[in-house]
Amino acid sequence: MQWQTNLPLIAILRGIKPGEALEHVAAVINAGFDTVEIPLNSPHWEQSIPAIVKEFGGQALVGAGTVLKPAQVDVLAEMGCKLIVTPNTHRDVIRCAVAHGMTVCPGCATATEAFTALEAGAQSLKIFPSSAFGPAYIKALKAVLPPDVPVFAVGGVTPDNLSQWINAGCIGAGLGNDLYRAGQSVERTARQATLFVNAYREAVQ
């Protein structure tokens, strides 16, 4: 399995509103990101996501997070989403997304959940919440997973500690509050995005 974007960092813009979404997505893409996730507990995501797909779908892997039901996957597929991210391991959601030809990054915490997700067709895994387990846990979990499965750390990842997760075997990370908090300025989003991109490049040198 191979992650399909150049930079394996997922910009999680939780809480973004439709009127500001395009500016913030442009900021993270200009910084070097090419994967963007809009969680479905964001205001009016059904407006934001199609607009982002239309504007940036040719430049980035655009998708949705906090996806909990197959019916949501069907709606997102119609919108042109290419990425489905979940907080849990839900076989039916994974299978539905795979059937639509989407990339799926399901949340898991244990070896059982990880292998359940892979057996359902997931092409990558999200260890969540990573900060509750730590890099040593992920390193141990990676030892039993197929070596070619892209694993992302999500939850508590910052520019200062990103290298710890990379060194533990993660291909990259999903970045939430330390990249974007609802209501923050576009300038802060751009600044944090640049810090993360630089931290990743330093970690993989």
The model's pTM is 0.97
Report CA 25 to chain centroid distance, whole Å.
14
How large is the average pLDDT for residues 145-173?
97
Task: Give residues with Cβ within 8 angstroms of 156, minimum separation 6.
Answer: 129, 130, 131, 132
Provide mean pLDDT across the span 145-174. Answer: 97
Residue 117, Cβ density class (10 Å: 0-12 exposed, 13-18 middle, ≥19 buried): buried
Active-site residue 142, yes or no?
no
The mean per-residue pLDDT over the stretch 21-44 comes to 98
Looking at residue 2, its pLDDT comes to 83
What is the per-residue pLDDT for 36? 98
- The pLDDT tens digits of the residues spanning 173-197 come to 999 999 999 999 999 999 999 999 9
Banded pLDDT at 152 (limits 50, 70, 90): very high
Among the listed residues 37, 78, 187, 202, the single catalytic one is: 37
pLDDT digits (tens, 9 = 90+) for 61-103: 999 999 999 999 999 999 999 999 999 999 999 999 999 999 9
Q: Is the pLDDT of residue 22 over 90?
A: yes
Give mean pLDDT, residues 25-42.
98
Peptide bond into 87 cis (omega under 30): no
pLDDT of residue 1: 80
Mean pLDDT over the full length of the chain: 97
Distance of CA 28 to the CA centre of its chain: 13
Catalytic residue among 54, 69, 126, 142: 126
Is 126 assigned a catalytic role?
yes
| Domains in the chain: ranges and CATH | 9-204 (3.20.20.70)
Structure-token pair, residue 91: 């076989």
In the chain, pLDDT over 70 holds for what percent of residues? 100
Question: How would residue 23 be classed by pLDDT, with cut points 50, 70 and 90?
Answer: very high
150 Cβ contact partners less than 8 Å away, ≥ 6 residues apart: 1, 2, 3, 8, 123, 124, 125, 171, 172
